[in-house]
């Protein structure tokens, strides 16, 4: 039978079959021997083939071709990547200006990965109720920056009554991957949209102003007006995979656009003669923070970075 993977704990999976059954499944061992360089050969959002045994156990025996997926560098040194989700319509990166502060490098790495896998991305700035005047100014500055590149954003507080109304049109009818650092409020936003306490929420460490992990596995939640939200564990950093140095600039839209004027087609924008990108950084056409993120990805050869 065919089914949709709606929950992954790492060792087992919950699937929703075409006829509406919810089954707990395991993966046949030989699926791990096919050269898939990921920590998880099966991911939330996968359409899979399931074999139901006479004793009631269920096994995932195959994966249907993926429409798309989004991955990050894995923390397991023996593997290359971890698939966050498959077959998604968009991804929403939850960002906070403070408590905790999301680094622009993290934002840019995530957006570049979404570009690489052709997944539309939107930024959701959360916890606006906690911002002072300086924080509010930084929020507006970042929204202008990313709007100028072509990314839409929403600014809200998940604790306010109107949060669900602001997010509903964004998510309706789509399968959306939620991601972000620990503590930015992914689970709180999810509960607000669903209108019920489905995901566990946590608090911020007073000592370090960082979030604690509350989501420990990935899970899909059906939305009242159609579509799905995928909640994922919070991540500290976003390591890239499957990007060559020559490709990195393609995933920064403003850099890619201006790079067409570079003298050399393989220009890496690190001091080559006739580079059009570096002067564009100097005169403000490209934000310095974005160029720094580009250079960070360009030099991202250390497998221990950004985990």
CATH label of the domain that carries residue 263: 1.10.40.50
User: For residue 8, what are the domain limits?
Assistant: 2-65
Q: Indicate whether 109 and 221 sit together in one domain.
A: yes
Q: Indicate whether 114 and 221 sit together in one domain.
A: yes
Q: What are phi and psi of 211, to 5 degrees?
A: -85, 155
Residues across the chain: 307
Within a domain: 147: yes
Q: Indicate whether 116 and 179 sit together in one domain.
A: yes
Mean pLDDT by 10 residues, the chain (307 residues): 92 92 84 59 93 90 92 60 90 96 94 93 97 97 98 96 91 94 91 73 46 65 92 69 84 97 95 96 97 91 43
Smallest CA-to-CA distance from 174 within 219, 125, 120, 217 is with 120
Question: Residue 45: which residues within 8 A CB-CB, separation 6 or more?
Answer: 4, 5, 69, 85, 86, 87, 88, 175, 177, 220, 230
3-class DSSP state for residue 184?
Answer: coil
Q: Indicate whether 94 and 144 sit together in one domain.
A: yes
pLDDT, tens digit, for every residue of 217-262? 889 999 988 999 999 886 765 556 667 889 999 999 999 999 999 9
Structural domain ending residue among the three candidates 231, 253, 269: 231
Within a domain: 6: yes
* pTM across the whole model: 0.85
Structural domain ending residue among the three candidates 205, 231, 257: 231
In the chain, how many domains are there? 3
């Amino acid at each position: 039978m065919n089914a949709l993977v709606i929950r992954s704990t790492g060792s087992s999976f919950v699937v929703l079959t075409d006829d509406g059954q919810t089954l707990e499944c395991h993966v046949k061992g030989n699926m791990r021997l096919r050269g898939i360089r990921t920590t998880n050969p099966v991911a939330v959002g996968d359409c899979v083939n399931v074999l139901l045994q006479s004793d009631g156990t269920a096994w995932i025996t195959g994966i249907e071709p993926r429409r798309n997926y989004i991955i990050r560098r894995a923390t397991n040194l023996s593997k290359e990547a971890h698939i966050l989700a498959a077959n998604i319509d968009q991804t929403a990166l939850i960002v906070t200006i403070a408590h905790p502060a999301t680094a622009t490098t993290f934002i840019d790495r995530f957006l570049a990965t979404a570009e690489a896998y052709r997944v539309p991305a939107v930024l959701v700035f959360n916890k606006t109720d906690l911002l002072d005047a300086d924080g509010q100014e930084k929020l507006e500055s970042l929204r202008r920056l990313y709007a100028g590149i072509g990314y839409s954003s929403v600014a809200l507080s998940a604790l306010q009554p109107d949060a669900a109304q602001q997010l509903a049109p964004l998510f309706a009818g789509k399968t959306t991957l939620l991601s972000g650092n620990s503590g930015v409020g992914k689970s709180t936003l999810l509960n607000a949209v669903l209108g019920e306490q489905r995901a566990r929420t946590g608090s911020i460490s007073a000592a370090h102003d960082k979030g604690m992990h509350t989501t420990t596995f990935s899970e899909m939640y059906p939305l009242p007006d159609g579509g799905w939200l995928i909640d994922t564990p919070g991540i500290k950093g976003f390591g890239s995979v499957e990007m060559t140095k020559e490709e990195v600039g393609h995933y920064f839209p403003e850099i890619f656009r201006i790079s067409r004027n570079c003298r050399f087609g393989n220009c890496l924008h690190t001091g080559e003669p006739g580079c059009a990108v570096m002067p564009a950084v100097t005169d403000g056409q490209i934000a310095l923070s974005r160029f720094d993120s580009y250079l960070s990805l360009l030099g991202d050869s250390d497998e221990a970075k950004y985990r």
